[in-house]
A = this chain, B = another copy of it.
Amino acid sequence: METLLQGTAEIRFTHPDDFRDWVRQHKRREMVEKLLTEREAISRYVADGDYIAYDFSSLTRGPQALVREIIRQRRKDLWVCAEFTLHETALLVGGGCASRIDVGFLGYGSYIGRAVSEGRVRVFDWTNGALASRMLAGARGIPFMPVRNLLGTDTLRRSGARVVNDPFTGDPVCLVPALNPDVFLVHVHQADAFGNARIFGTNLFALEAAMAARKVIVSAEEMVDPLEFRKDPSRTTLPYFLVDAVVHLPFGAYPAGLQARYELDLEHIDKLNAIQAEEQMQGYLAEYVYGVEDHAEFLDEKVGWRRLQDLARRATIREGYH
């Protein structure tokens, strides 16, 4: 297979056979309860140096509470898949947790941009679609996925993709390597104790990433009876055997919104948007992350019931989310 062009990025690539071995040995087929606290879940399933991915966006259903717990536990040297996310990645950089970022979409605001310019974090440029395709390849157990974009650009040259001649048409085609994250974090509307999980609305690549990842941590807005999943199997987003840990975290996406459950907290988000200097970042982390024991304390002391109720009350669009 002659490579016409090869991008320069370092890639986290797992041979499909090695990933299969992991699945065989570590992913439990038995229906066992996997309910953990966020502290236990992150402590057990996120290690220094891990490659982590998450779904969905920073303003809608992002796994914010889990990300804050990673920072609280001061994980180091994470490689982050920054797909359609904004603050999570910036906070992970601010907390000194992330050293490398595969870019889909790199945060916003100037904080993270400066971290890159100053060399505190290394970025590898991909695209949102390429990362989603890489995840799909990882989820199918194949080594790469062909795509018809990236071609011709610096993004390609700085990515870890390759260009080859497609044997069927003779034309150049781009191959993106499979992505098998070490950890996938996802906040869902509903889960049971075994890990069956349901998301309402759209998602980036929830099933792809859960299948492609070694370790999957689900935080759930609400816990439901296992039979609920069997009564409406089309609504199941993740079957339990993909999932390693379930954490019951109401308002787990805060300050993002969760469709049909609560609106985003724009005021708090503006606090995040305003972070530019290192001092601001560390101030934010000290107050909202390090300064609390866990998500419950965060909600209790830093947000408050009244505000949470107000955000919930404003989530009046329920159509389609059931």
Q: How many copies does the complex hold?
A: 2
A101 within 8 A of B: no
Are the CB atoms of A168 and B148 closer together than 8 Å?
Answer: no
Q: Within A159-182, which residues are at the interface with B (CB < 8 Å)?
A: 162, 164-169, 171, 173, 175, 177-178
A39 within 8 A of B: no
A143-B173, A232-B320, A319-B231 known; A3 and B167 CB under 8 Å? Answer: yes
Complex Cα spacing A166 to B142, Å: 10
- Distance in Å from the Cβ of A7 to the closest Cβ of chain B? 12
Are the CB atoms of A1 and B143 closer together than 8 Å?
Answer: no
Residue in B closest to A199 when the chains form the complex, CB atoms: B234
- Distance in Å from the Cβ of A20 to the closest Cβ of chain B? 10
Residue in B closest to A233 when the chains form the complex, CB atoms: B320
**Which one, B13, B143, B168, B232, contacts A146 given CB within 8 A?**
B143
Are the CB atoms of A168 and B13 closer together than 8 Å?
Answer: yes
Q: Within A1-56, which residues are at the interface with B (CB < 8 Å)?
A: 1-3, 13, 15-16
A141 within 8 A of B: yes
Complex Cα spacing A178 to B13, Å: 25
Are the CB atoms of A168 and B173 closer together than 8 Å?
Answer: no
Are the CB atoms of A166 and B1 closer together than 8 Å?
Answer: yes
**Which one, B13, B147, B177, B320, contacts A142 given CB within 8 A?**
B147
Chain A contributes a number of interface residues (CB within 8 A of B) equal to: 36
A205 within 8 A of B: no
Are the CB atoms of A168 and B164 closer together than 8 Å?
Answer: no
A304 within 8 A of B: no
Q: Within A117-152, which residues are at the interface with B (CB < 8 Å)?
A: 137, 141-148
Q: Which residues of B contact A15 (CB under 8 A)?
A: 169
Q: Which residues of B contact A320 (CB under 8 A)?
A: 231-234
Q: Which residues of B contact A168 (CB under 8 A)?
A: 13, 143-144, 162, 175, 177-178
Q: Which residues of B contact A146 (CB under 8 A)?
A: 137, 142-146
A2-B1, A231-B319 known; A143 and B164 CB under 8 Å? Answer: no
Complex Cα spacing A320 to B16, Å: 34
Residue in B closest to A13 when the chains form the complex, CB atoms: B168
Residues of A within 8 A of B (CB): 1-3, 13, 15-16, 137, 141-148, 162, 164-169, 171, 173, 175, 177-178, 200-201, 231-235, 319-320
Q: Can you spell out 19 A-B residue pairs with CB atoms less than 8 angstroms apart?
A: A1-B1, A1-B165, A3-B167, A13-B168, A15-B169, A16-B148, A137-B146, A142-B146, A142-B148, A142-B173, A143-B169, A144-B146, A144-B166, A144-B167, A145-B146, A168-B178, A201-B234, A232-B320, A234-B235
Q: 4 closest pairs, A vs B, by CB?
A: A142-B146, A1-B167, A143-B166, A143-B168
